[in-house]
Copies of this chain bind each other. A is one copy, B any other.
Amino acid sequence: MKKKASEHLMAYLEGQGLKSTRQRDEILDVFTSLGRHVSVEELYEKVRKAHPHIGYATVYRTMKLLTDAGLAEERRFEDGFTRYEYTSSAAHHDHLICTRCGEILEFENERIEELQADVARKNHFQVQSHKLEIYGLCGACQRKKSRMDSGKTNGKMTE
């Protein structure tokens, strides 16, 4: 799996007349070892731990490259950070995002996908990509929230 990714990158670089570098290999290596939805900053932290010589700009550049190579997917949720997902799972999936703790859950729903295709078709639209994001409170945060609320006097707060 790890092997496959670096081979994939190698092939892409060769095809594009680009060069294979230590930095690219190292970043890919760290990237594939991390979980999903890694922000560039998180990734940079981890990369730097193993390879202190690598600069911020290189991480940005490499993630763009991996995206072009089909090894990563860019995600932009509402928090202003670009995140990357390793492209390994075949199926398209969407996200549930907790607005309180930031947790990101994934889901797939074939029926929704079909309905989206229907909508596109009706509008003579040729789909390139789509994003479905549901923002709200995860179970844990709902419980925390209601615990907090019950401590308060009443609703109205000036600040």
Contact = CB atoms under 8 A, between A and B. Distances in A.
B123 A96 contact: yes
A128 interface: yes
Nearest to A103: B125
Contacts of A139: 123-125
Contacts of A34: none
Interface stretch (A6-14, A53-61, A105-113): A105-113
A96 to B, nearest CB: 5
Given A96-B119, A119-B96, A123-B107, A131 B131 contact: yes
B129 A136 contact: yes
Contacts of A142: 124, 126
Nearest to A132: B132
A96 B138 CA distance: 28
Given A129-B136, A131-B132, 6 more contacts: A112-B119, A115-B115, A125-B137, A129-B134, A130-B133, A132-B132
Q: Which 10 A-B pairs have the closest CB atoms?
A: A124-B139, A127-B136, A128-B136, A130-B134, A126-B137, A132-B132, A129-B135, A126-B136, A112-B115, A96-B125
Interface of A: 76, 78, 96, 98-99, 105, 107, 109, 111-112, 115-116, 119-120, 123-139, 142
17 contacts: A96-B119, A96-B123, A105-B125, A109-B115, A111-B115, A112-B116, A115-B115, A116-B132, A116-B134, A123-B138, A123-B139, A125-B136, A126-B142, A130-B132, A130-B133, A131-B132, A131-B135
